[in-house]
Amino acid sequence: MAPEGKTMKSIVQDRYGSAPEDVLRLAQTDRPTIQRDEVLVKVYAASVDRGTWHVMAGLPYPVRAAGFGLRRPKYANPGRALAGTVEAVGADVTGVKPGDEVFGIGSSSFAEYASARADKLAPKPANLSFGQAAAVPVSGLTALQAVRDRGRVGPGQKVLTVGASGGVGSFAVPIAKAYGAEVTAVCSTAKTTLVSALGADHVIDYTRADVADGTLRYDVILDIAGNRRLSHLRRALTPRGRLVIVGGETDGRWLGGTDRQLRAQLLSPFVGQTLGTFITSENGQDLLAIRELIESGKVTPAVDRTYPIDEVAAAVRHLLDGQARGKLVIGVQAPTGGV
């Protein structure tokens, strides 16, 4: 299924650890082999998201039980989002052929070649570079499903996006606009220019204003790594509004912030508002939906910066420091025309 005896450059992780500098290293490894339902992708670009750190650190502990390895990492590296060209396909794969330009979710994508299930790939948006396309899959899918499926955002609704300048937030703002909402975005002072450029109708600097001061109420609140109390967020919701908790990190090694999400789901049946969270569904159909939004010009990935493959640890560190504006891309190798 894959060329034998050929090696590649790849980031390698031998053990779990919270500091990227301590556990991620560049090495020469064998190219991956693929199963009958998989595709071998020549990776031109990958991207970093908050999930990259969780998979790398193995925290909170349920991440390990979810299939990433109980005692040590199951996969060569924590990369998942990718964009590139199809190198080879498994015997059961149809609709994809060598040479096709694709983007999506694979295994160990911080490498020159990666395997991916065919149903987690889609044709690369024609108007994006490989680097831009690699920024989309994980964060774009999460934002789409938060807005469309959980928030059920529609024309004329007022939507508040907390954490609008991050990876998911930078997609959620334009996607909500594409669905006809009036979007208010929340971010820090340094990131207000970016958020305005994403198309937000209103921008709130959380260092200067309280989003739940009682002045305005919203039909939908997307809380992306906000960590605000449920009671605080509910004050900003309409009586029948919907709160979608997408993130919210803590240092807890067992729950890691998911306790707030669990409390929201337990409370929801007893109040008029809908409170909850979800697990992103990784599927090619929703990648096609995002592709359509991108090619129509309604959504454009916000790429903060691009790192070479040997600086993946630096990219993860930049994300952890909270300085990223939009997405961080890894330029793995350059196709003709660049990434």
The string of pLDDT tens digits covering residues 134-172 is: 999 999 999 999 999 999 999 999 999 999 999 999 999
pLDDT, position 227: 75
Paired strand residues for 85: 42, 101
44-101 residue pLDDT tens: 999 999 999 999 998 878 888 888 888 899 999 999 999 999 999 999 999 999 999 9
For range 232-243, the mean pLDDT: 95
Could you tell me if 88 and 2 are in contact, meaning their C-beta atoms sit under 8 angstroms apart? yes
- For residue 253, being part of any structural domain is answered with yes
Buried b (16+ CB within 10 A) or exposed e, 214-246: eeeebbbbbbbbbebebeebbebbbeebbbbbb
Q: What is residue 32's predicted lDDT score, i.e. its pLDDT?
A: 95
For residue 256, what is the domain's CATH number? 3.40.50.720
Here the CATH number for the domain that contains residue 53 is 3.90.180.10
- Whether the CA torsion 75, 81, 82, 86 is positive or negative: it is positive
- Let me know whether 12 and 132 are in one domain: yes
Per-residue confidence (pLDDT) for residue 148, from 0 to 100: 98
pLDDT value for 63: 83
Pair 265, 162 in one domain: yes
Same-domain status, 210 and 306: no
Whether residues 119 and 156 share a domain: the answer is no
Strand partners, 30: 7
Domain holding 320, by residue range, is: 7-136+301-331
| Pairwise CA distance, residues 231 & 193, whole Å | 29
Mean of the per-residue pLDDT values of the chain: 92
